[in-house]
Chain A
Amino acid sequence: MEPKLKLKKDMLTTEYSLPTGISFWRKIVNKLMTVLVIIAVILAIIPLILILGDVIIKGAPALSIGFLTHLQKPPNVSGGGIANAIVGTFTMVGIAALISVPIGIGAGVFFSEWSSSKISTVSGFMNDVLTGFPSIVLGLFVFVIIVYPTKQFSAFAGGVALSFVMLPIIARTTGESLKLVPTTLREASMALGIPRWKTVLRVVISNGKNGLLTGILLSVARATGETAPILLTASTSIYFAKSIFQPTASLTVLIYNYATSPYASWQTQAWGAALVLILIMLGLNLLVKLTIGRNVAGKRMDI
């Protein structure tokens, strides 16, 4: 057993004899670990392939124009669709975006441009913590502040719940990508006598707008796939909602209800809806990865 090396410091003081040839045992261990590491990668990729494969194989037969354009039907009645759920999901994500995009970008700009202020440090930390909160807790929160007082499940409440899912993601990606805008640009702008607010709006944001867009798209994708907060706030419905203050269906809650139902026709439709959902989400994610996400310095924008 070689001495545990603290490199740099101990190298000078520890007696360490250079190996004349690498021993058999060390070679074996080295090869073994390489194999184990590759096995780990394969183990992680298998579920991804299986999940995507199953969703495509089992979901494709359910897909048709009627599936996308018809209302939900009772179990074992043919011709049921998910149109109301698709509309409901888009409605709620739209409401959530209206709330979270301005606030999230505002907070993100503040994190980056006023990074030395105390508010920025505390808020940035809280923002990270908010990212990690279980989304069901956000659903409970909105239930207590909106659904309980108004005694009404609604798309509006669902949208507010989703906005708390999106807000920290937008704020963080905005902050991170604006920090990558070179300081020299800000200095050049200030040196021309341009006031700070104009520098921030015209120089900093316009240079970092790809990052902003990435954050928004990622958060939209994330919100589209959320179930728990909507389940507690928007509930579900089998019709198109007449207003945003009524219970509203969504793709995710529909998948949950159908998958846990005992009816074969609903279970098939759950796979179909899953395929629609995954196409929307993966589409958004790939769009980000392939186009704009890449030139944010190849930095992983984790969601």
Chain B
Amino acid sequence: MSHDETEFARFFEASWEPCMRAVAASTGDLLLAEDQVAEAFARAWASWRKVRRHPAPRAWVVRTALNAGASWWRRSSRELPLSDHDFAAPVSQGSGLDAVVLAALRRLPARQREVIVLRVFLDLDIETTARQLAIAPGTVRAHLSRAVTALRSELAQTTATEADSCAATTS
């Protein structure tokens, strides 16, 4: 195995799950995310000499995955003979709150969602996030602020609805 292959293998092994979480959170569809992340890693290998020098290779993969429409992985996968996403596995397997939070994320504007994905799920700092998106750090903060406000509002509404529901049940 060449040095490049060894290096890419390590990167792939360490980064598959974080990238999957980031893309799955954004798309809400595990199978679609798997499809897109696999395609993105293939593209990363195709351009490995460039990607390996990238300041945030995982961010490169995630952004590529979110931009990738191709579904070669699904078509070629022998284990997943589905031809479309009619039977997609939803991401929300946890509590009701988790589902609400993730649904709220997917209702955010695309740019805010991108900022959240890079900042929260890939743990990039503000400056690196800004460089990835070719925007100013201040703009990243602004997007984060708006996103937090929107999420807070969604969660508050849900909490209020649940409280009303509980009150109605117990009264």
Q: Are A and B interaction partners?
A: no
Interfacial residues, chain A to chain B (CB-CB below 8 A):
none
Interfacial residues, chain B to chain A (CB-CB below 8 A):
none
